[in-house]
């Protein structure tokens, strides 16, 4: 199996090289530009359909999850290409990042690495379709120019060195403006064409206990209100930090000095555990344990601790992580609808190391 990304939808999937078949796709991997559209039908594991299987042979595309800014980002390429273009579908903007330095040593772009892997599998042409990185950026821009005619060409981006192109906002955005003005002429994309409280699509998934058809509170499988809280009473949140982008830039001295890696603990919880600001603590649950210094603060509520995500795992011989990676505490259970990482559904305990 090889894990790859489909450029047109920014989606990760698996491709069985012995006979490409892809029967379902988690909904978290669908982007607004999904070319399969209505041909995808809801399934318990995501979305499926005949055209999805037919398209499986064309799944290979440039892929690097750390370079994908979620479903809004159509394409973002490595600096070795000479230009990075990001298209943001939320506010009709695009920006470029010209190459600053030549690639060092034998470094290669993600696209080149994936193309070489595909070549060894006799899939280079299927992967690249004869296009270079720059060609794919041009294709992406050309595709979006159908919706945003004023979007500059790639050559115009490069020669102007403007860096960013944004469409001016001349009036405030109003949600469902056309529908509110004329519901009959501009129906919504719901089965009834109206605002719906009950979702027939969610009901069809047949998982009412985790994915209800109406908005309602569902207790997490791991929470302060469950039996697990008796042993692990603190809810862990794995938040983003200013010091890095996920794991990128971890280990940079200047950034670590400016934003030290700390677990945030409320004063009430710290007092109950005899913790002082700056103490090295051990955070653990039934899945793993880590050591990290604590920051005692009122800026987090009692019963909750926060560990910045993205720290590099540094295990000892016994499995204790001294890098402070919150991933050792999280479970492998994905979220029911989006099939995402349950980064905040974690209970743990904190004690002085």
| Per-residue pLDDT, 200 | 93
Mean pLDDT of 188-192: 93
Torsion of CA 173, 176, 180, 182, to 10 degrees: 110
pLDDT bracket for residue 300 (50, 70, 90): very high
Q: And the tokens for 333?
A: 């259970």
Q: Where are the domains of the chain?
A: 2-58, 65-166, 171-218, 227-352
| Per-residue pLDDT, 57 | 32
Res 225 pLDDT > 80 = yes
Query: What is the model's pTM?
Result: 0.64
pLDDT bracket for residue 95 (50, 70, 90): low
pLDDT tens for residues 51-71? 444 343 333 333 333 333 333
Tokens 């004023």, residue located:
150
Cα gap 282→288, rounded to integer Å: 10
For residues 283 and 113, which has the higher predicted lDDT (pLDDT)? 283
**Are the C-beta atoms of 292 and 280 separated by less than 8 Å?**
yes
Res 252 pLDDT > 80 = yes
- Backbone φ and ψ for 270, nearest 5 degrees, come out as -65, -45
DSSP 312: P
**Per-range mean pLDDT, top range of 132-136, 171-175, 243-247, 297-301:** 297-301
| Per-residue pLDDT, 145 | 84
Question: Which parts of 12-105 fold into alpha helices (H)?
Answer: 50-55
pLDDT bracket for residue 146 (50, 70, 90): confident
For residues 137 and 125, which has the higher predicted lDDT (pLDDT)? 125
pLDDT bracket for residue 318 (50, 70, 90): very high
pLDDT bracket for residue 49 (50, 70, 90): very low
244 closest CA partner among 227, 264, 261: 261
SS3 annotation, 267-279: HHHHHHCCCCCCC
**Other CB atoms closer than 10 Å to residue 258's CB: what's the count?**
10
| Per-residue pLDDT, 157 | 81
| Per-residue pLDDT, 150 | 81
| Per-residue pLDDT, 120 | 93
For the chain, how big is the Rg over CA atoms in Å?
A: 24
Tokens 């809810």, residue located:
235
Which residues share a beta bridge with 96?
85
| Per-residue pLDDT, 94 | 60
Mean pLDDT of the chain: 78
Res 186 pLDDT > 80 = yes
Concatenated DSSP letters of 209-268 = TTS-SS------SSSTTSGGGGTS-EEEE----TT-BTTBTTT-HHHHHHS--EEEE-HH
112 closest CA partner among 124, 98, 97: 124
Residues 6 or more apart whose Cβ sits within 8 Å of residue 163: 95, 96, 97
| Per-residue pLDDT, 231 | 97
User: What's the CATH class of domain 227-352?
Assistant: mainly beta
- Measured CA to CA in angstroms, residue 121 lies from 2, 63, 230 at distances of 10, 16, 52
Mean pLDDT of 132-144: 85
| Per-residue pLDDT, 8 | 32
| Per-residue pLDDT, 346 | 96
Q: And the tokens for 36?
A: 């399969």
Res 32 pLDDT > 90 = no
């Amino acid at each position: 199996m090889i894990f790859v990304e489909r450029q047109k939808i920014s989606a990760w999937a698996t491709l069985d090289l012995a006979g490409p078949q892809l029967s379902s796709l988690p909904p978290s991997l669908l982007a607004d530009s999904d070319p399969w559209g209505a041909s995808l039908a809801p399934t318990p594991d995501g979305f499926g359909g005949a055209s999805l299987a037919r398209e499986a042979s064309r799944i290979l595309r440039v892929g690097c999850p750390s370079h994908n800014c979620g479903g809004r980002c159509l394409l973002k390429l490595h600096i070795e290409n000479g230009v990075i273009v990001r298209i943001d579908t939320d506010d009709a903007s695009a920006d470029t990042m010209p190459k600053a330095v030549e690639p060092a040593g034998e470094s290669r772009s993600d696209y080149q690495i994936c193309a070489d892997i595909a070549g060894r599998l006799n899939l280079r042409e299927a992967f690249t379709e004869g296009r270079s990185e720059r060609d794919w950026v041009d294709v992406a821009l050309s595709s979006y120019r159908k919706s945003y005619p004023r979007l500059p060409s790639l050559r115009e981006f490069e020669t102007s060195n403007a860096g960013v192109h944004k469409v001016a906002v001349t009036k405030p955005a109003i949600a469902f403006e056309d529908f509110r003005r004329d519901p009959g002429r501009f129906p919504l994309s719901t089965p009834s064409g109206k605002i719906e409280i009950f979702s027939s699509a969610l009901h069809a998934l047949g998982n009412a206990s985790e994915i209800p058809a109406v908005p309602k509170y569902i207790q997490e499988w791991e929470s302060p209100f469950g039996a697990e809280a008796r042993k692990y009473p603190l809810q862990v949140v794995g938040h983003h930090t200013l010091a890095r982008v996920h794991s990128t830039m971890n280990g940079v001295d200047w950034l670590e000095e400016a934003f030290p890696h700390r677990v945030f603990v409320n004063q009430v919880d710290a007092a109950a555990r005899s913790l002082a600001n700056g103490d090295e603590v051990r955070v653990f649950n039934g899945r793993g344990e880590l050591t990290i210094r604590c920051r005692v603060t009122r800026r987090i509520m009692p019963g909750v601790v926060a560990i910045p995500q993205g720290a590099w795992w540094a295990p000892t011989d016994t499995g204790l992580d001294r890098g402070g990676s919150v991933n050792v505490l999280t479970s492998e259970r994905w979220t029911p609808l989006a099939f995402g990482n349950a980064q905040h559904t974690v209970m743990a305990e904190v004690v002085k190391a």
